[in-house]
Amino acid sequence: MLAGSQGVTAALDQFQAAAAIARQPQSRIEAQLNQLRLLIDAELKTEFRAELKAKQGSQPVQQLLSTLPAQLPTLPPSRERVYATVNFAASWIQVYSAAPMVIPSTVQQGDIAQLLANAVQVARSLSDTRAEAYALGQLGHLYETVQQGAEAQQLTRQAIGLSEGIDAPDLQATWQWQLGRLLKQEGKRTEAIAAYSHAVDALKSLRQSLSSFNADRQFSYLEKVEPVYRELVALLLAGNADPTQPEQAQLQQTQLQQAQLQQAQLQQARELIEALQLAELDNFFHQACLQATPQSIDTIDATAAVVYPIILPDRLAVIVARPGKPLAHYETLLPKAELEAILTQLRRYLNPHFFETDQRRLSKQVYDWLIRPGQALFAETQTLVFVLDGALRNLPMGALYDGQQYLIERYSIALSPGLQLLDPQPLNKGSLSALTGGLSEAQQGFSALPAVDAEINQIAATLPATMLLNRAFTTQRLEQTLQKTPFSVVHLATHGQFSSQAEETFLVTWDGRVNVQDLDAMLLPRRQAVNQPLALLVLSACQTATGDQRAALGLAGMAIRSGARSTLATLWQVNDDSTAILMKQFYQQLLETPSMTKAEALRAAQLSLLKQPQYQHPFYWSPFVLVGNWL
C-alpha cells in the first residue's frame, strides 16, 4: 500500500471498484468490510480526514455501518459468513469506542448482538468449533465494550473453553487477554494475572510459527501483542495485596512470604520485558528467527547492573538486576504522554544549536525519573546495562545529567535487547583482525565524510586490517571479502539509517545500499562458524530515521542480525572529525589495556572528547552506543 493519504485513498478506490463489480454477495461484502476497516483506521488519523471527506463524501463510515447489517444474513451458512459478521462487529465496536455519535441510530448494540448470536448458531450448525469460538469471543467483547461485565465474562470463558480444545493459540491469546481485562476491571488481580499469563503463553507458542499463519490469523504486534505484555507487567508491579482475598488470609501472610511473592512477580515482569523485546524484534524481521538463551547477570559480570525501564500509561517503572542481590523496583508517577514529550524535546535539544542550559535541564529531569530514585543501588556498579523501552531507545543514556556531571562520567554504559540474546564471551584481544570499509566521497545522494580516510587508516595502524574505501567499497566486494576472511572486527564508516522498518534499515555502499536482510545473508557463514565469531561490528556514521519513534529498533535489529557479539553505532550522524578522534581512542584503549572491556574503552574515548572544549557538548560524544556484549 502507498504511504500516507495517497495510499489510503488509492486503496479505498480499489475496494469501492471491487464492491461495484463483484458478482457474488460474498465478494462484495468482503470488499465493503475492507473499505470500512480502512476508513475507520484513517478517520482516526486527523491528517487524512479532510482528503477522505472530499473523496468519499460526508458520511462513508455511517453509510457502510447502515447497509452491511442487512446484507450479512443473506449470505449462505459458511465460515466466511461467520467471519464477515465478526469482522463487521469488530468495526462497529471500534467506532463505538472512539466516536459513538457516529453510530447510526438504526444499528445499535442489540442489533450487533443479534448478528453475532446468529453467527454463533451458524458455526454450530457447521460443527465449526473455531468459528464458534471466534464469534462467541467477539460477542463477549461487545458486552465488555458496553460494560456488561457478567455477560462478557461468561461468553469469554465459553470462547476460551472451545479454543483450548482445538489448535487455536491465536484465539486463546485474544480471549485470555479479554478475560484478564474483565477480571482486572473487577479488581480480581490474582485471577487477572493468571489470565494474562495464559495469553502470553499462547503468544509465545504463536511466535514459533509467525510466518505459517494465514492472513486472518496474523497478529498485529502493536495492537494485540505489545498491550498484553505491558498490561500484565503493570499488574505485576501494582502491589502484592489482593483485595479479592479474604482480609484474614492477607493478615496471615508473613513478611517473608510477601518478599518471596514480590521477587517472583518482579522476576516475571523482568522476563516479560525481555520476551517483549524478542517479540518486537521478531515483528521487525517478520519472522521468528531469534534463539534466546536465559542468562543471569550473576554469571556475566560481577560489576554490572542491568536497568529495565518500563513505560506504562501512568508511570515510569524501573527494575534493576544486580549480581547476587534481589531484584529492585522503583517507580515515578508520570503520564506516558508527558514522558514521551520530554524525551522528544530532549532529543531535539541534544543538538548544539540549542542552549546548553535547556539541554541540561531536560537531561536532569529524565535522570531524576530514571536513575536518581535507585542511585544507592549502583554503589558497587561499574557498568550500567540498559534494556531500554519505547522512546527511551532514541536517547543516549550517557548524556543524562545529575546536576553536576553526566552519567558517562560515573559509569561505563551499554545497551542490550535483553540478556537472553547475549553471548557472554569476553573479547579475545590476541588475535584481532579487521575489515574496514567506508565512503569519504559523496555518493548515492549522501554527503562526503572527509575524515573517514583518517579514521580507517588509524584503525589499520592499530591492528591488522583489510581496507575497502570509496570505489572499492561496493556491495559485491563487501560480500566477497566478508565471506572469504573470518574477520573478528568489521568497521564500516559510511552513511546509513536505522528504522522501525527492516526494509528502511540500511548502509550505503559506493554502488547501492545494504539493508539489514542483505547483511544477514552476507554474514550467515560467519554465524555458522562457531569457532570464528564476529566479535565487534562498528557502524560509525549511521543515524536513526527522523520522526520514527521506534527507529532505534533498527539498530538493535542490525546488531542482532549481524551475529556480532557487540555492535558500536551512532544514534545520529556525528561531526566527522570528532568521530575519527573517538574511534582512534576507542581502539587504542581497547588494545593497549588488556583488562579493559569494550564498554570501558568506549567510555574512555567519550571522556576524551568531553575534555576537549570544542567537543564538550553531548552532541559530539553521546550518540555512540554499544549494543550487546560489553565485556
3-class secondary structure, 318: strand
pLDDT score of 247 more than 70: no
Please name which of 328, 442, 303, 465 lies closest in space to residue 385, comparing C-alpha atoms.
303
* pLDDT at residue 353 in the model: 83
Mean pLDDT of the chain: 89
Distance in Å from the first CA to the final CA of the chain? 44
* pLDDT at residue 213 in the model: 41
* pLDDT at residue 255 in the model: 77
* pLDDT at residue 115 in the model: 98
List pLDDT tens digits, range 26-69: 999 999 999 999 888 877 654 444 444 444 444 788 999 999 99
C-alpha cell at 530: 562457531
Average pLDDT of the residues in 355-375:
94
Q: What are phi and psi of 434, to 5 degrees?
A: -130, 145
What is the distance of C-alpha 267 from the center of its chain?
Answer: 20
pLDDT score of 528 more than 80: no
pLDDT band at 585 (very low <50, low <70, confident <90, very high): very high
State how far the Cα of 426 lies from the Cα of 598, in Å rounded to an integer. 9
Q: What is the DSSP string of 50-89?
A: HHHHHHH-S-HHHHHHHHHHHHGGGSPSSHHHHHHHHHHH
Strands (E), 65-214: none
pLDDT score of 283 more than 60: yes
pLDDT band at 3 (very low <50, low <70, confident <90, very high): very low
Residue type, 626: L
pLDDT band at 102 (very low <50, low <70, confident <90, very high): confident
Residues 398, 399, 400, CA angle at the centre, nearest 5°?
A: 95
Cβ pair 308, 245 in contact under 8 A: no
* Nearest-10 Cα torsion for 20, 26, 27, 29: 60
Residues in CB range of 563: below 8 A, 6 or more apart:
523, 524, 526, 527, 533, 534
3-class secondary structure, 417: coil
List pLDDT tens digits, range 554-563: 999 999 888 8
pLDDT band at 2 (very low <50, low <70, confident <90, very high): very low
Residue type, 462: T
List pLDDT tens digits, range 399-427: 999 999 999 999 999 999 999 888 888 88
Provide the whole-model pTM: 0.90
Separate counts of helices (H) and strands (E) for the chain: 22, 13
Strands (E), 362-509: 383-386, 412-415, 434-438, 465-469, 489-498, 506-509
List pLDDT tens digits, range 167-176: 899 999 999 9
State how far the Cα of 140 lies from the Cα of 146, in Å rounded to an integer. 10
Give me the residues paired with residue 310 across strands.
317
112 to 25, 72, 103: CA distances (angstroms): 20, 11, 12
* pLDDT at residue 47 in the model: 40
